[in-house]
Amino acid sequence: MTNRFVVIDIETTGNSSKKGDRIIQIAAIIVENEQIVDQYTTFVNPCTSIPVFIEELTGINDEMVKDAPLFEEIADDLLKILEGSIFVAHNVLFDLSFLQEEFKRIGRSEFVGLTIDTVELSRVLFPSSDSFKLFDLTESFSIHHERPHQADSDAFVTAKLLLHCINFAKELPLITLEQLSLLAVGLKSDIEVLFEAILHRKKKHIENLPEHLEVYRGIALRKKKKKHIERNYRERYEYPISPNEKEKLLSQTIKHFEVRDGQFEMMDIVYESLRLKKTALIEAGTGVGKSLAYLLPSLYQSVQENKPILISTYTVQLQEQLLQNEIKKLENMLPFAFKTVLLKGRQHYINLFMFEQSLHDEDTQYDEILSKMQILVWLLNTETGDIDEINLSSGGKLFWNRIKQGGWHLKDKDPWVSRDFYLNARKEAENADLVITNHAMMLIDFKQESSLFRTFDYVIIDEAHHFEKCARHFFGKKLEYIPCKYLCSKLGAFEKKQAFFQLEKLIDSNKITPKTPAFELDFSIIELERSIDELFLGIADRWMFERNKQGTQAKTQIRLVNKWMDESKWQPVKYCAEKIIATINEINSSINGRLTSLKRISEKLNEKEKAFVEEIYNIMNEFHELQKTIQMLLIQQSNDHVYWIEGDVKAIPNSITVQSQSISVKNQLGTAFFSKKKSTILTSATLTVNNSFSFFENELGLNHLEHLVKKQIPSPFHYKEMTKLIIPNDVPEILHVSSKEYAESISSHLIAIAQATKGRMLVLFTANEMLRQTHNFMKESGLLEDFVLIAQGITAGSRTRLIKNFQRFEKAILFGTNSFWEGVDIPGEDLSCLVIVRLPFSPPDEPYIWAKSKALTAEGKNPFTAYSLPEAVIRFKQGFGRLIRRDTDKGIVIVFDRRIDTTKYGKAFLQSIPKIPVKHASLKEIIEIVEKWF
């Protein structure tokens, strides 16, 4: 391999040279013998104007390139630089193909040689990175990036990233490098050449494996650290009762610790509730520090009673925050050692036996190869074996379905049992003081016969406002077209040469004669796949029929009502559902007969065959679940559930799903869950409506419990000085005009306000269509050319990616719906203005809301005051909480929906947030207030 790399980055007027886009800047960094030795940079005259967006992104304008050379004038220099080198770029396909087109356009020969894509290389070597964008990677490795989106700076940091990757790869164990080198042949760039060169050098020296690693069955992985604490012989430590004791304890390890009376108060409530076996509802405002307020007393209680405590959260982010921040602080702070374990569902953990056997496959599928390489590197670092640690591609997630932990049928034959991550996590949890899990896992485990969590007497539920909704989903079902088709493809008809074909080969090689001949089973598998297509096409027809009647938009939900069941149009769907269940029974019977025969001769099977048998068992378990789902959704419906069909007219039948949810979970939760616990603490920043817990109590079935403690702990922030709320008085009433008219009206206000705040604005919507209309009006106005508009569902990227981009640009406006109403943390000056476009009432025709309203009416209650209003208030409180995240934050909240002021129920929204000044103003007055405020 050559020791010479040329790292290229180009800036262009657009994405396609074939469509006339041109290069405006190019940089080449020459790397030899792992050193940056030279650099070539120039602007390029594109002979066309630079689009505004490109100018905003790169900072390069027409003036800067007008006297620059044409591409024709620098082409020979570039080819000379590239000669005999490996071409490197971050997303090499874009840079190289663009250059090749330009060389072709001017009649020069194209570059011929090896390429390395640092995106692909980073995916392999740093599989746990949140993002593989250049800015994010360099930031995480502390590589200074002076001017992102300018070619010279981008090329320089890409070169630094390449060197970082090479140095990292040199430290990998020999066995891992050998495996990566073999697999890398299937990648898109020539990374195998890099691995082979490192491998060649590494083989010249004797390898000393680091102490924390081991090689087992040809795979290098991290040794498991066992943290064993003998509870029975631990000293009894007394909980710090007085504020002085608490302050002394916390200030020892927390820098710049500030006493928060609310935090100390919450600690005492949690401790007393656990000690006296009570259930407590605690609403803790932003800034109270509730995580530490429940963790510290929990640990004292756990130590004093020698009983573990279960902590359940809704989001992965909070789980990670607890482990990385609060738990680490407590480890340094408390006078005793304790053990914390994070436990998730079985499917989150890798089955090492399955993975080991998959390494022997002859792969041709790119995502599978890349995923295997990522996992080989990840195993050197992971202590948990939890897939959430890896940033897999969508294709990689399909591969994960093959190698995830699904239980055992030949457990004693699995050579990896001693190192199994899931078994290890469960074992560790049994000897832990704190076990952290999530709401879904806790509910799933609670329902199982061999429940680990059922033995926990003490439970703390954080983000508790989500618990009822999570339970509703848990007690419901979901049927989707794509997963059904994927499951069928895993088994596959005989000619597809998937699992069924391999099973028949195994049966034949062991001279087993099954009761059901292969051709009959093959016919059943083909028939099943055909029936699933018919089922979803039938459901789609009904969905389209009802949708057209309503004249609704492309994506919509249609309630699945009981009267349909007897209609002639629905009979083919019901017939198909029954046929699928019968066909799965036939397939199950035939395959189980084969598996039973193989189990009898399991000692004759080699390891690859044993792993394959486990895979077949897991596939059949999935078919059993599919059977139950179809039965519950389409054949035996319950009056306690609401059922609906979702779809998108642009993607039929792929987008079609059938879902159900439990209308009420208060009986299941109240009697079967909460009443079985000695003590449960439920906490969140949003549990009350108009200073009352009654809505929350009723929805979770808590109002019949004895010894119920309820406490609101206000935020320590001085909201009166930090924020004010403005209600515009010159926008139309939202219910008096069309959606388009309303969007047009608020757009003119938002443009003016954005100019006054210089961006830094989060605009919250309740509907995607309103967001899209408002975004388009503002963009097309031409008045915000120097602003970056970032919109959920329009701008590409995840929520995290959109927020990071919003924080990156000085003048930015972020538009969000649904998930942006909570969990968004943008402290400081990055967010100075929060706009709530509409009070967050759920649409009354949404299937669950409709069913809930009907049930409440049957009970003699008013659905609006009993459910719709309190639900909207809690969501409003979550949205309001996005603005002030730290005691140094300052900003303005603008609510465009005048119902907050003009209706009687509007007071419930205002009375449920901290007391702050409320101002009614015209647009002109708002601008004056904003300019004065900032």
Domains, the chain, ranges and CATH?
Answer: 4-206 (3.30.420.10), 477-661 (no CATH), 719-933 (3.40.50.300)
Q: What is the CA radius of gyration of the chain?
A: 31
Q: Calculate what percentage of the chain has a pLDDT beyond 90.
A: 58
Q: 311 - beta bridge partners?
A: 436, 460
| Nearest-5° Cα angle at 608, 605 to 613 | 70
Instruction: Tell me the three state secondary structure of residue 250.
Output: helix
Residue pair 710/281 in contact by the 8 Å Cβ criterion? yes
Check the annotation: does 286 bind a ligand. Answer: yes
Check the annotation: does 303 bind a ligand. Answer: no
**For the residues of 72-86, what is the DSSP string, one character each?**
HHHHHHHHHHHTTSE
Model confidence at 564: pLDDT above 80: no
66 secondary structure, DSSP code:
T
Check the annotation: does 647 bind a ligand. Answer: no
* Tens-digit pLDDT profile for residues 286-345: 999 999 999 999 999 998 888 899 999 998 778 888 988 899 999 999 998 899 998 887
* Tens-digit pLDDT profile for residues 2-59: 689 999 999 998 888 788 889 999 999 999 999 999 999 999 998 888 887 788 778 8
Q: pLDDT at position 791, please?
A: 93
* Tens-digit pLDDT profile for residues 342-376: 888 788 899 998 899 889 887 678 999 999 999 99
* Tens-digit pLDDT profile for residues 464-510: 999 999 999 988 999 999 889 989 998 999 998 889 999 999 999 99
With residue 789 as reference, give the H or E element that holds it: strand 788-791
Check the annotation: does 930 bind a ligand. Answer: no
Q: pLDDT at position 72, please?
A: 92
Q: pLDDT at position 32, please?
A: 93
Q: What is the mean pLDDT of residues 836-849?
A: 93
Q: pLDDT at position 576, please?
A: 94
Model confidence at 227: pLDDT above 70: no
Model confidence at 413: pLDDT above 80: no
Residues 718, 257: Cα–Cα separation, whole Å: 18
Q: What is the mean pLDDT of residues 726-746?
A: 91
Tabulate helix, strand, coil % of the chain (nearest 5): 50, 15, 35
* Tens-digit pLDDT profile for residues 668-698: 888 778 888 899 999 999 999 999 999 999 9
**For the residues of 218-236, what is the DSSP string, one character each?**
TEEEEPPP-----GGGPPP
Q: pLDDT at position 614, please?
A: 85
Q: How many CA atoms lie within 13 A of 259 on its CB side?
A: 10
Check the annotation: does 31 bind a ligand. Answer: no
Check the annotation: does 262 bind a ligand. Answer: no
Which residue from 906, 927, 785, 932 is spatially nearest to 836, judged by alpha carbons? Answer: 906
- Residue 230's pLDDT band, with cuts at 50, 70 and 90, is low
- Residue 229's pLDDT band, with cuts at 50, 70 and 90, is low
Who contacts 293 (Cβ-Cβ below 8 Å, separation ≥6)?
263, 264, 266, 267, 270, 284
Model confidence at 449: pLDDT above 60: no
With residue 25 as reference, give the H or E element that holds it: strand 23-32
Least confident among 176-185, 450-459, 599-608:
450-459
Instruction: Tell me the three state secondary structure of residue 655.
Output: coil
Residue pair 27/40 in contact by the 8 Å Cβ criterion? yes
Q: What is the mean pLDDT of residues 250-259?
A: 85
Check the annotation: does 816 bind a ligand. Answer: no
Put the strands of the sheet holding 35-43 in their side by side order. Answer: 35-43, 23-32, 4-12, 86-89, 115-117
Model confidence at 70: pLDDT above 80: yes
More confident of the two residues 631 and 543: 631
Check the annotation: does 881 bind a ligand. Answer: no
- Residue 724's pLDDT band, with cuts at 50, 70 and 90, is very high
- Residue 411's pLDDT band, with cuts at 50, 70 and 90, is low
- Residue 224's pLDDT band, with cuts at 50, 70 and 90, is confident
Q: What is the mean pLDDT of residues 771-789?
A: 91
Q: pLDDT at position 252, please?
A: 84
Q: Calculate what percentage of the chain has a pLDDT beyond 70.
A: 97
Taking each helix axis from N to C terminus, what angle separates 518-550 and 481-491, rounded to the nearest 10 degrees?
170
The average confidence (pLDDT) of the chain is 90
